Amino acid sequence: MFIKSSLITLALVMSASATPLVGGLGTAVAIEKRNTLTKDDGSFDHTGALEQVVRDSNKHRRNLLNLERNEGVQAFNEGAHIRPVANLTTSLTGHAARQAESLTDEGNDVYWAGPISIGSNKQPFYIDFDTGSSDLWVPSVNCTSSTCNGKHKYDGKASTTSARKSGQFSISYGDGSSVSGPVYTETVTVAGVTAKGQYFSPVTQLSSSFAGEKMDGILGMAYPALSQFRQNPFFNSAKAQGTVKAGVFAFKLAKSGSELYLGGTNPNLYKDSIEYHSVNTGSGFWQIGSGNTAKVLVGSKAVVSNIQTIIDSGTTLIYGPPSQVATFYKSIPGSQVYDSKTGFYTFPCNAVPSNVAFSWGGKSWTISAANMNLGRVSSKSTQCVGAILGHDLGLGKDVWLVGDSFMKNVYSVFSFDQNAVGFASLK
């Protein structure tokens, strides 16, 4: 049985040895991940993966709707378009089976989560820190649907800093349900970093795709341009209020010792210098790849070039435009289409590529074989499913969505001060 409190460990890290960017003390949040989309027997969790694809599609659909309203379509990447709500069609699901399974086996969850508190009475929540969106939501005491069972619920009456605002927050999910609720402001604290008057939604409806997951809600860490509240996300509020000195945060995502560091970088976790790349800030995302520098490599050969990349801690996998991903897999020996509808490919399990890398014009940042491999097609199969899939999320013609399958290989740094994303080698 899973004991929640044992994982809610807050670590304060006082770091005096600063890189030029740090400029002050930062704060570390211990975060954890329970697994990938690989089952205990080493096989690929296809149902869980399809659920992820639907959730990722609808999250980014909502981002584009927010961006269009906040900045206009001129902020869109070339070829970006708002796709219909993605659905899990019955032929793809086994949805009920997955839900039942995840209640007993928490190993299939696929996010990086840690503790936060909301309100004057410090109501605790367990939160997915998401660089691919910009709003905060948690379940409300007024959420009566069964999908909120077992989750922490925000009670505005118990907090003296609670304030109701006008408007409604909502994200549609393809299972016919949505995440929605009223808009509030509150005092929000993450590992000692506090933002007062932070906009968030205590949601009264929770999509079934979140049922049975340990995480209570999501804290968005992308730019304000993606905010449905049209307000600063938590970290920007904290920076504006001076409770965090440097506008920099950084992730180590690993099997153990994962950490989100607020207000700088943690030199104990990486070695050598951090390689920074300018963000295309107009898109609202942590999007890098300006000047046609970004490419996907297999060995020393660039197989796809001139791409844009969105670095998204809230996405498990790596998505590319279908035609570019097809081109990529032509360079992977023995690869074949596995699921043409969703865009998954396989390769032989005895030849999992260990030389796939992204480059933004500097070093090549390699994805390990372990992080490329989502597991065997079935427990006896000799084919394994790849972590890069070809699926159009509407984000743009040459845009790749680069999630944890990449981020697990590097120390990643997100700087609002420099509008840059940096990567360094993990220690």
Ligand X SMILES: *[C@@H]1O[C@H](CO)[C@@H](O)[C@H](O)[C@H]1NC(C)=O
Active-site residues, by number, are 130, 312
Residue matched to tokens 């180590």: 252
CA dihedral over 325, 219, 182, 224, signed as positive or negative:
negative
Judged by CB, which is closer to ligand X: 7, or 85?
85
Q: For residue 246, what are the CA distances in angstroms to 241, 263, 359, 419?
A: 12, 5, 27, 12
Judged by CB, which is closer to ligand X: 42, or 182?
182
In the complex, minimum distance from the CB of residue 143 to ligand X, in angstroms, rounded to a whole number: 9
The answer to whether residue 84 forms part of the interface with ligand X (CB under 6 A) is yes
Judged by CB, which is closer to ligand X: 172, or 268?
172
User: Of residues 156, 343, 403, 422, which one binds ligand X by CB under 6 A?
Assistant: 156
Instruction: Indicate the helix (H) or strand (E) that contains 365.
Output: strand 364-367
Judged by CB, which is closer to ligand X: 203, or 269?
203
User: Of residues 19, 35, 70, 142, which one binds ligand X by CB under 6 A?
Assistant: 142
In the complex, minimum distance from the CB of residue 57 to ligand X, in angstroms, rounded to a whole number: 8
In the complex, minimum distance from the CB of residue 46 to ligand X, in angstroms, rounded to a whole number: 19
Residue 109 corresponds to which tokens in the numbers above?
């969850």
The answer to whether residue 119 forms part of the interface with ligand X (CB under 6 A) is no
Window of 3-11, 139-147, 252-260, 408-416 that interacts with ligand X by CB under 6 A: 139-147
The answer to whether residue 393 forms part of the interface with ligand X (CB under 6 A) is no
Site mask for ligand X (CB under 6 A), range 278-307, x = bound:
------------------------------
User: Of residues 19, 35, 70, 87, which one binds ligand X by CB under 6 A?
Assistant: 87
E-strand ranges in 16-132 read 27-30, 113-118, 123-130
Judged by CB, which is closer to ligand X: 222, or 393?
393
Q: How many residues bind ligand X (CB under 6 A)?
A: 12
Judged by CB, which is closer to ligand X: 107, or 182?
182
The answer to whether residue 140 forms part of the interface with ligand X (CB under 6 A) is yes
Burial level of 270, CB count in 10 A (0-12/13-18/19+)? buried
Q: Which of residues 202-231 bind ligand X (CB under 6 A)?
A: 202
User: Of residues 174, 217, 220, 264, which one binds ligand X by CB under 6 A?
Assistant: 174
In the complex, minimum distance from the CB of residue 50 to ligand X, in angstroms, rounded to a whole number: 13
Residue matched to tokens 């379509």: 73
Question: Coil, strand or helix: which one is 113?
Answer: strand
CA dihedral over 254, 259, 265, 268, signed as positive or negative:
negative
The answer to whether residue 24 forms part of the interface with ligand X (CB under 6 A) is no
In the complex, minimum distance from the CB of residue 82 to ligand X, in angstroms, rounded to a whole number: 12
CA dihedral over 417, 423, 425, 427, signed as positive or negative:
positive
The answer to whether residue 85 forms part of the interface with ligand X (CB under 6 A) is yes
Judged by CB, which is closer to ligand X: 202, or 233?
202
The answer to whether residue 65 forms part of the interface with ligand X (CB under 6 A) is no
Which of 399, 419, 417, 416 has its CA nearest to residue 76?
399
The answer to whether residue 139 forms part of the interface with ligand X (CB under 6 A) is no
Which of 263, 319, 427, 274 has its CA nearest to residue 60?
319
In the complex, minimum distance from the CB of residue 67 to ligand X, in angstroms, rounded to a whole number: 20
Q: Within 10 Å of residue 208's Cβ, how many Cβ atoms?
A: 17
Q: DSSP of 175-198, one letter per residue? A: TS-EEEEEEEEEEEEETTEEEEEE
In the complex, minimum distance from the CB of residue 337 to ligand X, in angstroms, rounded to a whole number: 20
The answer to whether residue 233 forms part of the interface with ligand X (CB under 6 A) is no
Q: Do residues 200 and 135 lie in contact, with contact meaning Cβ atoms separated by under 8 Å? A: yes
Q: Do residues 140 and 154 lie in contact, with contact meaning Cβ atoms separated by under 8 Å? A: yes
User: Of residues 13, 86, 318, 401, which one binds ligand X by CB under 6 A?
Assistant: 86
Residue 401 corresponds to which tokens in the numbers above?
């969505």
In the complex, minimum distance from the CB of residue 343 to ligand X, in angstroms, rounded to a whole number: 14
Q: DSSP of 200-220, one letter per residue? A: EEEESB--GGGTT-S--EEEE
Contact positions vs ligand X (CB under 6 A):
84-87, 140-142, 154, 156, 174, 182, 202
